[in-house]
């Protein structure tokens, strides 16, 4: 902490003042039991989801426990393992000398399926698994072809080249390929996360401001700091505490993912940094509006009503994600995603879909940052006018009139 002011002269600048206010906010929040209880619950829920989905996930494709019979048993086993691997499945294959031994292993439950080339039968312990059947078919075909080619006098490396043609790649007419579903999923997840966080953390700011006004401590504070300094410190401090909680949640999510055994598409990882940028800017924008709403009321009971317009705007932006957000290439989508109150929710969606041009993202960010500055200054002015006016709720119109009235 270098305040640059080691002397005891009252030369506290805006930056140092904001830092003092923010530091108190963080310290007091970290001192409250509720912070740990809430974080703990969050971690438990997230881990619970991971553990839960592991048990659900066990019903999916697992290891194939197979048995092969006959003179070609070992080669068949190798071919099955190789084919299964190409299809992202694991196979554990045992070879038996005779059909009878293999069948008794199947009945004993040592294996789930037996391939008996002599009978041209694939025998399953219970349900017939079509994918396993296809794997065996493919494996059996390649072993048979290999035998045929060997009989025809081809050298092993020639056989190899015949049996392993170049791998085919999948492509789509849809340009970027079949990842649209994943992009929509990523964008939707980001929007849900942003919406919930903005609402929650904005709510913290709202009740924090009302606390200061309802306890009248604000009068003492305004004797020492400017209203906009107090506002910035509060928003930043709560933001830092919120980010700590957010980080704990993300860490828990990673553990949860590992526990669940689900593979994470790489697109999710690349979406995280940009989501963070939109979260920070969106938080700054909305939390200051929530603070403005909080400054109008003197009791916690009135806070919800005063913040209704802000919440409506946030919900409106959220709804847009699920309407125009699903047609990310449209002009409406493009224009809306650059408007400050909408950008933090809609732009991540369009970016995930690959529909947002760099300039659009830049314009959206510049507009958003500019409005954050504007909202900060406006709220600071309203703050200074209304924080000492306790009693009945002040109307938005009255607040703007007061702010316009004087500097």
H or E segment at 317? helix 300-322
- What is d(CA 234, CA 304) in angstroms, rounded to the nearest whole number? 19
Three-state SS for 94? strand
| Residue 96 β-bridge partners | 69
**Helix axis angle, 33-57 relative to 14-31, nearest 10°?**
70
| Residue 67 β-bridge partners | 94, 114
Q: CB of residue 276 vs another protein: minimum separation in angstroms?
A: 30
Task: Judge whether 393 and 306 are in contact, CB under 8 Å.
Answer: yes
Residue 83 or 298: which CB sits closer to another protein? 298
Residue 221 or 268: which CB sits closer to another protein? 221
Task: Judge whether 57 and 259 are in contact, CB under 8 Å.
Answer: no
Q: CB of residue 379 vs another protein: minimum separation in angstroms?
A: 17
Q: What is the CA radius of gyration of the chain?
A: 32
Residue 27 or 335: which CB sits closer to another protein? 27
Q: CB of residue 172 vs another protein: minimum separation in angstroms?
A: 58
Residue 68 or 379: which CB sits closer to another protein? 379
Residue 60 or 391: which CB sits closer to another protein? 391
Residue 50 or 380: which CB sits closer to another protein? 380
- What is d(CA 234, CA 307) in angstroms, rounded to the nearest whole number? 17
383 contacts: CB under 8 Å, gap ≥ 6? 227, 228, 230, 231, 291, 292, 295
Residue 32 or 315: which CB sits closer to another protein? 32
Q: CB of residue 219 vs another protein: minimum separation in angstroms?
A: 4
Residue 21 or 235: which CB sits closer to another protein? 21
Tokens representing residue 98 in the block: 């005779």
CA 306 to chain centre: 30
Q: CB of residue 397 vs another protein: minimum separation in angstroms?
A: 15
Q: CB of residue 406 vs another protein: minimum separation in angstroms?
A: 5
* CA dist list (Å): 212 to 146, 216, 291: 82, 6, 11
- In this structure, how many other beta carbons lie within 10 angstroms of the beta carbon of residue 305? 12
H or E segment at 216? none
| Binding residues for another protein (CB under 8 A) | 3, 5-12, 17, 20-21, 24, 27-28, 32, 211-212, 215-226, 388, 390, 406
User: What residue has token string 């045992």?
Assistant: 94
Q: CB of residue 343 vs another protein: minimum separation in angstroms?
A: 35
- What is d(CA 25, CA 233) in angstroms, rounded to the nearest whole number? 8
Q: CB of residue 29 vs another protein: minimum separation in angstroms?
A: 10
User: What residue has token string 């969606």?
Assistant: 349
Q: CB of residue 18 vs another protein: minimum separation in angstroms?
A: 11
Residue 179 or 211: which CB sits closer to another protein? 211
């Amino acid at each position: 902490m270098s305040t640059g002011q080691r002397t005891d002269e009252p030369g506290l600048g805006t930056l140092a003042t904001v830092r003092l206010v923010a530091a108190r906010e963080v310290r007091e929040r970290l001192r409250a039991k509720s912070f740990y209880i809430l974080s703990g619950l969050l971690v438990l829920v997230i881990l619970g989801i991971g553990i839960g989905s592991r048990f659900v996930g066990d019903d999916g494709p697992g290891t194939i426990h197979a048995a092969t019979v006959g003179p070609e048993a070992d080669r068949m086993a190798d071919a099955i393992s190789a084919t299964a691997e190409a299809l992202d499945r694991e196979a554990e294959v045992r070879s038996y000398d005779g059909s009878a031994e293999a069948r008794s292993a199947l009945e004993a439950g040592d294996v789930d399926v037996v391939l008996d080339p002599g009978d041209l039968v694939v025998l399953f312990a219970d349900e017939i698994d079509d994918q396993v059947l296809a794997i065996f078919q493919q494996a059996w075909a390649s072993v048979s072809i290999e035998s045929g080619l060997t009989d025809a006098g081809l050298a092993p490396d020639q056989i190899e080249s015949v049996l392993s043609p170049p791998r085919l790649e999948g492509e789509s007419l849809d340009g970027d390929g079949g990842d649209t579903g994943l992009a929509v999923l990523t964008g939707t997840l980001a929007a849900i996360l942003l919406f919930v966080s903005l609402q929650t953390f904005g709510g913290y700011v709202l009740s924090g401001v009302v606390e200061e006004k309802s306890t009248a401590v604000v009068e003492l504070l305004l004797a020492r700091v400017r209203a906009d300094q107090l506002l910035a410190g509060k928003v930043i401090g709560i933001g830092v505490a919120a980010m700590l909680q957010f980080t704990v949640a993300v860490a828990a999510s990673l553990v949860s993912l590992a526990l669940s055994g689900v593979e994470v598409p790489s697109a999710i990882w690349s979406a995280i940094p940009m989501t963070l940028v939109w979260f920070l800017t969106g938080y700054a924008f909305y939390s200051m509006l929530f603070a403005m709403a909080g400054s109008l009321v003197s009791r916690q009971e009135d806070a919800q009503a005063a913040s209704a317009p802000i919440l409506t705007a946030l919900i409106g932006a959220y709804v847009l994600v699920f309407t125009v957000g699903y047609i990310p290439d449209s002009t409406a989508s493009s224009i809306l995603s650059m408007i400050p109150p909408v950008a933090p929710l809609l732009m991540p969606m369009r970016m995930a879909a690959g529909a947002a041009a760099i300039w659009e993202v830049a314009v959206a960010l510049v507009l958003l940052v500019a409005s954050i500055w504007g909202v900060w200054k406006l709220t600071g002015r309203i703050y200074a006018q209304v924080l000492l006016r306790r009693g009945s709720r002040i109307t938005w119109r009255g607040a703007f009139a007061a702010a316009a009235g004087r500097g």
